[in-house]
Amino acid sequence: MTMEQISFDNNENPSGISSGIQQIGFFRPKNFVPLFLGILVFYLVFYTSCANQGMPTGGDQDTIPPVVVKTIPALRGTNFSGSDLRFTFNEYIVSDEISEKLVISPPMKKKPVIKMKGKTLIIEFAEDQRKETTYSLDFKDAVADNNEKNPIDDFRFSYSTGSSFDSLRVTGYLKDALTQEPVESALVLLHRMMDYTAFIDSIPDYIGKTNKEGLFLIDNIAKGNYRLYAVLDADNSLTYNQNGETIAFADSIIIPSARFVAENDTIVQGTDTLVVSGHVDYSPAPQYLMMFEEEKFDQYLDSYKRNQGNKCDFFFAESLSDSFRINLINPIPTSEWKYIESNLKKDSITVWITDTLISNNDSLLFELQYEVLDSLSQLVVKRDTIEMVYAAPKAPKQKKKKNEVEEIPTIGLADNINSSGHDLYQRIRIEAPEPLASFDMSMVRLYSLIDTVKTKIPIVVEKDTNSIRKFYIEHLWEPNSNYLFQVDSAAARNLQGDPSLKIERKFKTQKEDFYGKIILTISNLSGAALVQLLANDKEERVIQKIQILEDGKIEFPYLKPEKYKIRIILDSNENGAWDTGFLAENIQPERVIYYPKIIKVRSNFEIEESIRIEYDPSNKKELVDEELEKEKARKKEQEKQKAREAAGE
């Protein structure tokens, strides 16, 4: 019985290609003596050690993964007609993750049954296998030993139900189109059908799955022409059939092929055997796929809530058109009863109820009207009837004390002022907790403070265009200067007539040298681009952005002393935004480039960087933080120095 570790073999010969290699027999006279001596040494060591008795020790920790000692069928075997596969290992294994991670290509509609019998793993098929087909099984790292959980990395196995064995392959890398991060656990699909609709309604001919690095390998493919797709398959259908599923596709047709490349011939001394070494070149080259979510209009009411009596929130899947309407069915209003407020995207609506006779009702019945697409992709008006219930919590009864004055309800106005260092480019925002019936702007004042001298500054209070509760004050702030902001009490009143509390905030603006600046020199630009300054975090929030049409210098001023990333979008349609892809029109998402350095901005310092635009889909997103790298190098040198001192050097 031979012991064989089954894994991915980069030198595997493709079907139908003659390599010219002749195997050298192990039992020729030349090789027999060392083989015999090896067996003799093994015999003496093993049996003499068994004779020595003593207390057993724990020994070194097991770090060796299981080894396959037998398979049915044999690796790369042909004409297999069984209904299950069997893998016998040299030790017990855990099989908990196999059902989740195992990928069988060509795919099967029904999942196989995973069983264990002693040290043998049994994969029992729930449907008949295709005839004259080469099957590939990719276990990833799902097979591990029972004791230490040492996995077999990239464990793969293949066999054929016919007389021939297919060994062509397609490899590649899958990234998120905007963030350029690798996409893990996405399905990568090969279809013989050329029309993109096969991706939507048909099971693929071959399938693979990406690993943590976004890498994928689909092997044991038959000759032919294919279309290549990828999908984060939300419903395990092996198709792209749900909104919200992210996808990717290759622009061109995939035609797998392979050829053996022979290298220099070598004559083996003492025999008449000719050994021809070489390697196999596979085509096409690795495919780099960019994953995106298509913009699809699929409108529906996602959720709603009424957390207070006069406030009803509605959340939609898409932005609402101007045709949105909301009607109160019960109780029937006798006059104007609402204010409507929306977010910037207009997919979230807040309805403020201005009539207290209505808001005091525990139950309200609404009719919503909004546009959706029908089965013919035509816009039609949909009507939803929604009941919203709210019961105000009962306040505990308290005995009124003698001469106690009843407290008058008030509202508090919020602001965004930073007392110790208000940003020079930040306007003042005033925000009410609910819609206002009135706001006397003359009761809002701003003063500059120089020593004890207070000088009034002319201001204009502007309403927010999207919110009826927000107001702004623009001013060109002087650096490192003192100001006083005041709002008189009762300057604003809510719909119930409750007055606002007084605001009096002294604050100081930032020093001008607190900020830094990034200056970028952009070259080799072939069209419009959008340069984004991003926060150095996982969310990569956009801090500033500049659209450019040609090579030159751009500046990001007034930056806080923090770390930033630079992302460049090749803005092909010059609309100043990143555009996603569209499968039906074979449109890829707009290309994205990350500057490979994380930039540390320091106070009162200008940082200049040069960026040459060269889009390469194979580039990995590996952003270097020079400050962290220097710190790692310093700590490493300290550890070396401690080791030298400990050794007495």
- Quote the CA–CA distance of 100 and 141 in Å, as a whole number: 11
Q: Which two tokens stand for residue 427?
A: 């306007």
First to last CA, the chain: 54
Nearest of 129, 204, 136, 142 to residue 169 by alpha carbon: 136
- Quote the CA–CA distance of 81 and 118 in Å, as a whole number: 24
Q: Which regions of the chain are under pLDDT 70?
A: 1-60, 264-276, 395, 397-406, 649
pLDDT for 392-422, tens place per residue? Answer: 887 676 666 666 666 789 999 999 999 999 9
Domains along the chain with CATH numbers:
61-160 (2.60.40.1220), 301-389 (2.60.40), 414-513 (2.60.40.3710), 515-630 (2.60.40.10)
The conformation of residue 317, written as its DSSP 8-state character, comes to S
Res 394: pLDDT: 77
Res 368: pLDDT: 97
pLDDT for 509-567, tens place per residue? Answer: 999 999 999 999 999 999 999 999 999 999 999 999 999 999 999 999 999 999 999 99
Res 228: pLDDT: 98
Res 542: pLDDT: 96
Res 278: pLDDT: 82
**CB 318 within 8 Å of CB 299:** yes
> What global pTM score does this model have?
0.79
Using CA atoms of 462, 465, 471, 472 in order, give the dihedral in degrees to the nearest 10: -60
Non-local (6+) Cβ contacts of 144 within 8 A are 65, 66, 93, 94, 150, 151, 152
- Quote the CA–CA distance of 302 and 230 in Å, as a whole number: 27
pLDDT for 201-218, tens place per residue? Answer: 999 999 999 999 999 999
- φ, ψ dihedrals at 324, nearest 5°: -60, 135
* Beta strand pairing call for 348-353 and 338-342: antiparallel
- Quote the CA–CA distance of 462 and 446 in Å, as a whole number: 14
The helix/strand/coil state of 346 is coil
